[in-house]
Copies of this chain bind each other. A is one copy, B any other.
Amino acid sequence: MATKFEMHHHIKYYECDSSGHPTLAMIVAMLILASEADNDANGVGLKRAGQYGGGWVIINYEGNLAEHQPVKGEEVILGTRVRAYNRFFVIRDFWVKDLAGNYYAKVSGTFVFMNLEKRRIMTIPQEMIDTFQMEETKRIPRLEKPAPIDDQTGWPTRDYRVRYFDIDGNRHVNNAHYFEWMMDVLDGDFLRNYQVVKMQIEFAHEVRYGQTVTSTGSLPAQDGNLMITHHQITCQGEESARATLYWKKR
């Protein structure tokens, strides 16, 4: 495995929902912060990537969150390391820990390097591969995928117009918004009483400013000792993202 990278982060009140804990959307946003800082520290940050005409694009995440979650004002450790890669794919592990080393979240993600103009996958520049300081992986591990979706009868559905301020400092719709669109169709009482403890999400077609996405999600159902919800975001008839979320009573 590659060298790990860690950084400290203070949880802000505006990164938390009404429970006083960071939202899943913000946790994922923080993890991306860690991977960018890791790349920056290795001299292959966004700017250098841009000189290759490319940028890192996330394909999917799988993750587990502890029942006990950080609170606003708390200082946490955000960490990441490359677990595996080949010429086209990188698997990154991510974590959020408290200062004593207890895990709040463990997430893995698959990244590709994309030509941002042609929107086409590129081979990863050798300069970036060198920073991983490890051998190419023969078999890239496959992350757990969200369940396929078939019958959506009775699923609550809402439309969301991509707003100007949904485009972040990286000039894309922040992936975090997909989680907000997905979870916002669920009932407020459910969101207040349950927390996500496990998730799988897969991103397909990117959405753009001014487009309207449709978010649909299943009614929460029992799944072992957890509750499960299935989610889909579509835009102009194409799937933009699909997710399975597992919930536990707070």
- Chain A residues engaging chain B, CB cutoff 8 angstroms: 12-18, 20-21, 23, 25-26, 29, 32-33, 36, 40, 72-73, 163-165, 167-171, 174, 176, 180, 183-184, 186, 188, 191, 209-210
Contacts and interface: CB of A to CB of B under 8 A. Distances in A.
Cβ-closest 9 pairs across A and B: A16-B169, A13-B169, A72-B169, A18-B167, A14-B29, A163-B184, A18-B171, A165-B180, A20-B169
Given A164-B184, A184-B164, A188-B164, A170 B13 contact: yes
Contacts of A14: 26, 29, 33, 168-169, 174, 176
A169 B15 contact: yes
Nearest to A172: B18
A184 B162 CA distance: 10
A208 B169 CA distance: 29
Nearest to A28: B14
